[in-house]
Structure 1
Amino acid sequence: KYGIQCDWKKGYATLALNERRMDDLIEMEKASHATFGYDKMQLWDKAKLKQHLGSDIYVGGLYDSNSGHLHPLNYCLGLAKACLDLGVQIYEQSPVVDLVEKSGCIEVKTDKSAVISQDVILATNAYIDALPKSIHHGINRKILPVESFIIATEPLDQATADSVINNGMSVCDNNILLDYYRLSADNRLLFGSDSSSEKDMVQIMRSNMLHVFPQLENVQIDYGWAGPIDMTLNASPHFGRISPHIYFAQGYSGHGVALTGLAGRIIAEAILGNDERLRIFEGLKVPSFYGGKSLKNLATKIGVLYYKFLDRYR
C-alpha cells in the first residue's frame, strides 16, 4: 500500500535436525491445512531440501511459499515515513517518566514536558524495565529479555551465494534456541542464533555458521551485533490493557516483524471501539516471572542452558 522499499522476498523454510523434529514439522503441516485451511506449506525430504540449500545437517523441512523475509530497519523507516505522510507526529529522545490518568485524559510526562492524550500504548518490547513500575504496573513480569546474535559475511559472489541458498528463501531450524539465516539483497549471509554467552559471540556465530555451511570457511565476517528479544515463558504474545485507555503489546518471542503489525491493528481497532480481537489475546495464559532484574538475568542463563540440553537430546 505504501510502496515501502525493504527487499521483501517470498519463501521461508523451517528445518529439522533429526527425525523426531521432522515429526513436529509433519504435524505442523497437517494442522495448518486441517485446522486453518492454509495450503501454502510443503514438506521437503532431505533430497528436495538439498536442491535449494547447501547443507547436509538437516533431515528435511517445511517450506512456506507465502511467507518470506525483508530488511527490518528499512521496513521500520518506511512505516515511519508513511505515518509522517499521513500527518502523524513522531518525537524521539523523549523518555516518559510517568503517566497520570485524569478525568477523560491521560497526562504523559516526559523529562522536560508533558503530552495530554486520550489513549496510550506501551510498546517498549524488551526494554520495559526502563519504565517506572508506576507506568507498567508489573507487566514486566511476563517477559524475559533473551539476547539474539547475528553476523553478516562479506558480500558473496553469486556462485558462492547459490551454494548456500539458491532460491532466496529465509531459513531457521526448529530448535528452541534456533539458528536462523538468509541472504541479504547484496548477497551477504546473515546468520543468527538465539542464545546468551559471555564469550566472543562473533566467533561463536561463525563457528555455528560453518557447522551449517562448511564451504564458507574462507569467507570474512564484516559485522556482528546483538539485541534483546522479549520472550514469554510459554512463547505466547502478551497484549492487553492496564486500564480502559492504557494498552500494551509485548512478548513477541522472536516473531515481532510480522506480529507487531498485527498488534498495532488490533489495538487500533480497540481504541476505535471494537475490542473483539484484543479480547482473544487477553484470554491467552501467559505465566508471570517474579523477581528483580538480577533474578531475571540468572533465570535467563539457567533457561538457556536447559533449552540447549533439550535441543541436543530431544
Structure 2
Amino acid sequence: MPSMTWYHDTANISKRHRLNDDLHCDVCVIGGGLTGISTALNCAERGMDVVLLESETIGFGASGRSGGQVVQGFAADISVIEQYVGKESGYTFFQMAREAVDDLKERTARHAPEADLRMGYLHLTLNNRQFKAMQSLCAAWHGWGYTGPKMITRSEVRDWLGSDRYFGGMIDPESGQIHPLRYLLGLAKGAEEAGAILFEDSAVRKVDGTIVQTDSGLVNAKYIVYCCNAYLGKLERKLYSKIMPVASFISVTEQLSASLAATIFPRDVAVADCNLALDYFRLTHDRRLLFGSGASYSTIVPPGLIGTMKRKIVRIFPEMANIRIDYQWGGLIGITINRIPDIGRLSNNTFYAQGFSGHGIVLTGFAGKIIAEAITANDKRLKLFEKIHHQTFPGGWLRTPALIAGMSWVKLREWLNI
C-alpha cells in the first residue's frame, strides 16, 4: 500500500533521527502512532525519561491514514462490556469514553490547533432494525446523563445530508472529525517538548527482558509499552494472537465547488452508517469528500478499488458522478473478537494497548493516559480493562480465511437487509 495520503500532502512533516546508540530510560514505547505518542506524552508529562521507537515514520500506520472520525464510545456496545465487568463498571466505561473525547479536545487545543477539529456527527441507519437499535443506544446515553444526542427521521435526514439513501439516524453533537496526522504530529511535538525522545526508522527486532533491540542500537528500559496494534507482526506472539489486522480503504475526491459542498453537506458533520462493514465520510477543510468504506479481511487491496469506491459514493450522492478521485489509499486497523480494546500488561514492567476496532482516534489517547497512570502506581482504571477476557483468533494459520468467510456472511445479511 502506498505511504502517501491526502493527509501527508496537507501536513507539515519533519524527519526524525534513527536510533544509533545504546540508551537507558524509564519507559521505552514501541510504535509511533496515536497510542505510542500519547503514551510517550503522558509519561513524559509525569516526569519519566521516555524513548519511543518507530519502525517507519511517525504516523505511517493507521494513525496517519484513518478516516479522522472522532466517535464517542466503543466499537462494542456497553452491554457487551457489562458481561465482563458488571453493570456499575459498565457505566464507568461509558464515562471513560466520554472523558477520552474531552481529552482529545483539550490536547488538540493545546498541541494541534491546526488539526481542524470540528464537532457534529451523524450516525445513519439503512433500515428499521438499525433505526430501533440506534434509538436504544440514544436512550441509554440519555439515561447515563449524556442528553446531547437526538434521533432524526427519514424526512429530517435531508436537513443534515444531501442524500435520500438513509432511513433515519442519530445526531451526536460531541463527536466529530479531525485531521488525524496533524493531530498526531502536534502530540509528537508536545511529547518532545515534555522531554520524550522519538526515533524513526528504528524497527524493533527483539525484546529480551528489559532490553529493546534495533538494528543499530538498543534501549534498556525500566518499563516497556507495546503500541504497535495491527503492525505488531510477530514481535510479541501473546499479543499478536489477540488481534486481527484488517485493511480499510479511503478515497479523497477533487476539490468540490462551494455549491456542491453545501448541497451534500448542508450542515458540516461527519457521517457513518451502521453496517458492520460501514461507509464513513466527511468534508475536508479544502472542500473534498473524504470517503471510507468496508474492509478487506485478507488485507489484500481489492481489484478495481477506485471504481468500487466511486460507485459507492455515487449511490449516496448521484450528483457526484463526474467528480474525480484524487487520492486512494489503504491501511491496517486492529480488531479484537469482542471489538473491545485490549489494554493491559504482560508483566509488572511490560504494558500494551491494541485492538481499538475502528475507534482509535479517541480511545488511543485514553489508552496512553491510563498506561501512564499505571506505571506511576495508579492502575485502578487499567485493572478495569484487564477484567475483559480477550480470546485468541481461532484457526492458527487458517484464522484469516475463517474471518473472511464469517464476514462475508455478515456482509451478505446486510446487503439482503436481514
Q: Which amino acid aligns with 2:141?
A: S
Whether the 8 Å CA contact 2:234–2:240 is kept in 1: the answer is: no
User: CA contact under 8 A between 2:111 and 2:189: conserved in structure 1?
Assistant: no
Matched, 1:78 2:182: no
Give 1:295's aligned residue: 398
Q: SS in structure 1 opposite 2:116?
A: coil
- 2:381 aligned to 256, 277, 284, which one? 277
CA distance in 1, matches of 2:208, 2:392: 25
Q: Which residue identity is paired with 1:138? A: K
Q: 4+ residue stretches of structure 1 with deviation over 4 A?
A: none
Name the structure 2 match of 1:24.
133
Give me the identity figure in percent. 38
1:11 correspondence with 2:120:
yes
2:125 partner amino acid: A
Letter in 1 for 2:195: G
User: What is the match of residue 364 of structure 2?
Assistant: 260
Structure 2 distance, partners of 1:194, 1:305, is 11
Shift of 1:130: 4.6
Secondary structure of 1:27 counterpart: helix
Structure 1 CA distance, aligned partners of 2:392 and 2:168? 36
Partner of 2:197, secondary structure, is coil
Alignment of 1:1-314 (within 5 A): 1-4=109-112, 5-34=114-143, 36-101=144-209, 106-131=210-235, 136-196=236-296, 198-292=302-396, 294-312=397-415, 313-314=417-418
Amino acid at match of 2:189: K
Contact map agreement 2:123 2:169 (CA 8 A) in 1: yes
Q: CA deviation at 1:299?
A: 2.6
In 1, Cα distance between equivalents of 2:377 and 2:409:
44
Q: CA, structure 1 residues 171+212, in 2 after alignment: closer, same or farther (shift >3 Å)? A: same
CA distance in structure 2 between the aligned counterparts of 1:140 and 1:100, rounded to whole angstroms: 17
Letter of the 1:205 partner, please give it: M
User: Is the Cα–Cα contact under 8 Å of residues 153 and 168 in structure 2 kept in the other structure?
Assistant: yes
How far apart in 1 are the matches of 2:115 and 2:130?
A: 32
Distance 2:399 2:193 in 1: 41
Paired residue type of 2:232: I
TM-score by length of structure 1 reads: 0.93
- Distance, in Å, in 2 between the alignment partners of 1:148 and 1:215 is 25
Deviation, 1:93, is: 1.0
Q: Matches of 1:99 and 1:119 in 2, distance apart?
A: 12
Higher RCO, 1 or 2 (CA under 8 Å, sep at least 6)? 2
* Contact persistence 1:180–1:192 (CA under 8 A): yes
Paired residues of 2:111 and 2:190 also in contact (CA < 8 A): no
Q: CA deviation at 1:310?
A: 2.6
- The alpha carbon displacement at 1:137 in A equals 4.0
- Give the distance between the partners of 2:131 and 2:382, measured in 1 at CA: 34
How far off its partner does 1:303 sit?
A: 3.0
CA distance in 1 between counterparts of 2:160 and 2:302 reads: 35
Normalised by the length of structure 2, the TM-score is 0.71
- Counterpart Cα distance in 1 of 2:191 and 2:294: 32
Displacement, 1:41? Answer: 0.4
In structure 2, distance between residues paired with 1:94 and 1:3? 25
Structure 1 residues without counterparts, runs of 5 or longer: none
The residue identity in structure 1 corresponding to 2:136 is E
- For the residues of structure 2 that align with 1:110 and 1:177, how far apart are their CA atoms? 37
CA RMSD, 1 decimal: 1.3
Separation in 2, partners of 1:302, 1:289: 14
Residues 270-279 or 2-11, more deviating: 2-11
Query: Would the aligned equivalents of 1:44 and 1:60 in 2 still touch at CA under 8 Å?
Result: yes
Give distance in 1, aligned partners of 2:392 and 2:271. 31
Total equivalences in the alignment = 304
Any conservation in 2 of the 1:195–1:304 contact (CA below 8 Å)? no
Match of 1:306, as an amino acid?
Answer: W
Distance 2:215 2:276 in 1: 40
Helix, strand or coil at the partner of 2:405 = helix
Identify unmatched segments of 5+ residues in structure 2: 1-108
